């Protein structure tokens, strides 16, 4: 499994932008037909979707740039800025929705043309659901946190619309117009939860989080095939930057080995790790297993003593 070319990821961002434009128009129509503050909150979230999709596109363009003199490890971390910005925008949308809902609680207003509003909003939700599934599959396949964040945001929008439509239906059935702003407040709370989770995940990526337990297990399996009395590994470290993976390790071999033999071994190990971890950069450091100094540098901050 390999990562897609950058242009492939950008086309998913364009798909998200197109979906946001379509759903904003549809939900705005639904709000105008019904006057529902819940549907207004839904339309505002779709506006956030559009801004987030544009940011995602820009950051995917930046992330696709090759390594250069100032960024030797690439630009993939730009994706975390996209997901972080999306989380912040979600929180801003939640504040706006809450403000509008409180106003409607204080001054309730009956809904109008509920049937047409529900139909239009449901159609917009179906568009979001389809696009979210496409983005989520692409994000997982290509290890793109920016696309995954956009997908989860759209799925949140789908469930939000379901809640709003339920509220509109309850208002129509019971006449309790206060249910509309109450549901809008619940929507705002749910959006806050999603935004906070996106911000936390983005921060974790910027802080060089290790690979997932499943990927670390694959690395350990590779090393276990080679480990023995004359061959050991330590200081095995991993980190990820969006689609890029980094694995480093110290390889301890008998001091009497030739440089060629040691080099051939680490080349084989690096190739096997890259085979099980897509888009991985693997760094190895060869050491003599008999040398006590080889065991003083296992920690991240090496022991300075001779």
**Rounded CA gap, 121 and 115, in Å?**
10
Q: How confident is the model at residue 111 (pLDDT cuts 50, 70, 90)?
A: low
DSSP string, 16-81: HHHHHHHHHHHHHHHHHHH--HHHHHHHHHHHHHHHHHHHHHHHHHHHTSPP-SS-TT-STTHHHH
Predicted confidence (pLDDT) per residue in 194-229, tens digit = 788 888 878 887 888 888 899 999 999 999 999 988
User: pLDDT band at residue 176, thresholds of 50, 70 and 90?
Assistant: confident
> How sure is the predictor about 263, in pLDDT bands with cuts at 50, 70 and 90?
very high
Helix (H) or strand (E) holding 186: helix 179-206
Return the pLDDT at 2. 41
Q: How far is CA 169 from CA 112, 118, 159, 177, 181, in A?
A: 12, 8, 15, 11, 13
pLDDT bin (cut points 50, 70, 90) of residue 89 is confident
How far apart are the C-alpha atoms of 96 and 202, rounded to whole Å? 23
Q: How far is CA 142 from CA 39, 101, 210, 253, in A?
A: 34, 39, 18, 36
Q: Which of 248, 240, 237, 244 is nearest to 202 (CA)?
A: 240
Higher per-residue confidence, 174 vs 12 = 12
Confidence of residue 283 (pLDDT cuts 50, 70, 90): very high
- Whether the model pTM is above 0.85: no
pLDDT tier at 5 (50, 70, 90 boundaries)? very low
Confidence of residue 124 (pLDDT cuts 50, 70, 90): confident
Share of the chain above pLDDT 90, in %: 21
pLDDT higher than 90, residue 81: no
The reported pLDDT for the residue numbered 188 is: 77
**Domains 6-206 and 213-295 are alike in CATH topology:** no
Fold of the domain spanning 213-295: Alpha-Beta Plaits (3.30.70)
* CATH 1.10.1240.10 for domain 6-206: no
Q: Which of 23-32, 125-134, 157-166 has the highest mean pLDDT?
A: 125-134
Task: Give the model's pLDDT for residue 64.
Answer: 81
Q: Which of 186, 296, 183 is nearest to 234 (CA)?
A: 296
Residue 209 — φ and ψ, nearest 5°? -65, 145
Domain locations along the chain: 6-206, 213-295
Q: Which residue has the higher pLDDT, 112 or 219?
A: 219
């Amino acid at each position: 499994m390999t990562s897609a070319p950058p242009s492939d990821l950008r086309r998913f961002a364009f798909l998200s932008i197109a979906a946001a434009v379509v759903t904003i128009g549809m939900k705005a129509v639904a709000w105008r037909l019904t006057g529902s503050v819940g549907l207004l909150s839904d339309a505002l979230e779709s506006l956030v979707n559009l801004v987030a999709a544009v940011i995602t596109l820009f950051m995917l363009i930046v992330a696709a740039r090759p390594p250069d003199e100032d960024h030797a490890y690439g630009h993939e971390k730009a994706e975390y800025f996209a997901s972080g910005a999306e989380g912040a925008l979600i929180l801003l949308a939640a504040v706006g929705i809450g403000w509008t809902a409180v106003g409607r609680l204080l001054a309730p207003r009956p809904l109008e043309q509920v049937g047409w509003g529900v139909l239009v909003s449901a159609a917009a939700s179906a568009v979001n659901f389809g696009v979210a599934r496409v983005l989520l599959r692409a994000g997982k396949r290509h290890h793109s946190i920016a696309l995954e964040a956009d997908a989860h945001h759209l799925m949140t929008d789908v469930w939000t619309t379901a809640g709003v439509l339920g509220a509109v239906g309850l208002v129509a059935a019971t006449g309790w117009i206060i249910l509309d702003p109450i549901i809008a407040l619940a929507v705002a709370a749910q959006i806050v939860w999603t935004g906070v989770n996106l911000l936390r995940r983005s921060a974790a990526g910027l802080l060089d989080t290790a690979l997932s337990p499943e990927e670390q297990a694959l690395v350990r399996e590779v090393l276990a095939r080679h480990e023995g009395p004359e061959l050991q590994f330590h200081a095995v470290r991993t980190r990820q930057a969006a689609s890029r993976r980094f694995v480093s390790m110290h390889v301890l071999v008998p001091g009497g080995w030739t440089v060629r033999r040691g080099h051939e071994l680490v080349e084989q190990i690096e190739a096997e790790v890259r085979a099980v971890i897509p888009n991985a950069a693997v760094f190895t450091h060869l050491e003599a297993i008999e040398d006590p100094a080889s065991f003083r540098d296992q920690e991240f901050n090496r022991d300075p003593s001779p």
